[in-house]
Structure 1
Amino acid sequence: METSKYLKDGMQAYAAQYTKMVSTPEFQNFSLMIVGTMIFLYPLNIGFYQIYRKIDLKEKLELGDLLVGYNGLNFFKYIGYYIFWFFIYINAAQTIILGIVWVIATVFVAPLMFFTNKRIFESISLNFKALRMYFLEITVCVIVAFLFKYLGFALFFIGGLFTFPFWNAMIYSLYKTVFSEKS
């Protein structure tokens, strides 16, 4: 907000003010706190998968289901994956296309890690196999889920709390369709 008043002076003035603001220690600390919070909250996504599974199996839901990603040593597995995923995404997202490719290339990694106890690179390999077979379906679903999730934030802000789980529901639904755990 502070730097936006410099837009009327042209892009160079805006870029200079933005660069000055980003280089302050306060902004850098704030950025690190935001990233740390996102990393710590990632296991909640795993909890959504547990909830969706219990709904499919018609089991009783509990509050602990949402926090299942924080249980035991698996917490570090999910945190490690998200750090790996996030730092590649931050660099790839600058090109927009590579960011989208990275999201699509890793869409099933978390459910595979949670439901089948696969490792990160094994899950990425299985994700690529699924992409070869269901590329169009996966791409369309990712785009729709992305739009629904972020339009909820953009249009209703507080409604974003209700549209946020849609992304995880879409991933779970696709996962259930593409992968069979019976073997």
Structure 2
Amino acid sequence: MTSLRTGPDARVRCAWVGDDAEYRRYHDEEWGTALHGDRALFEKMALEGFQAGLSWITILRKRPRFREVFAGFEPAAVAAFDESDVERLMADQGIIRNRAKIEATIGNARIVQSMADGELDALMWSFAPPPSGVRPASFAEVPAVTPASTALSKELRRRGFRFVGPTTMYALMESAGMVDDHIEGCWRADPR
């Protein structure tokens, strides 16, 4: 399988983008770009947790509805959700209706709410590895789990977070720009 693909705009991108316009936008504007802020990282954590076992494009297409029903992923607002909110979310066909993931998101919001302002951001970024100086030449060189994602997962779990396994955390690290796995030759691949 090729690791690069030329899009309809003649730009060469990571091949996982395929032909989907929303995936192209996400790849070009978000994926691998440094993301900071407790709210933004809480949202990313929640969405990556909902993605477990599903394709990211499914989550990306549902993201506007997720943002609407989860109060913009403001940790204080989500932390205040109760059982009636869980039932409301379970009935919403616009999101992934998985009780364990919904309850984990609410529980995770409560943990974030108990942290100092900026603490989640600092904690997560403290696990970002230094750039390796080597860009992946193919998808085969991109790991699913790393020692850094395993350590981040372990620390988050120690603090009580759920749906934050090592593979999920590596996907978050890629998405939030803690690691840059744009394939060599992709127009977004910065020289290292």
TM-score, length basis structure 1 = 0.35
Q: Which has the higher contact order (CA 8 A, sep 6+)?
A: 2
Point out the structure with max Rg over C-alpha. Answer: 1
The structure with more helix, counted as a fraction of residues: 1
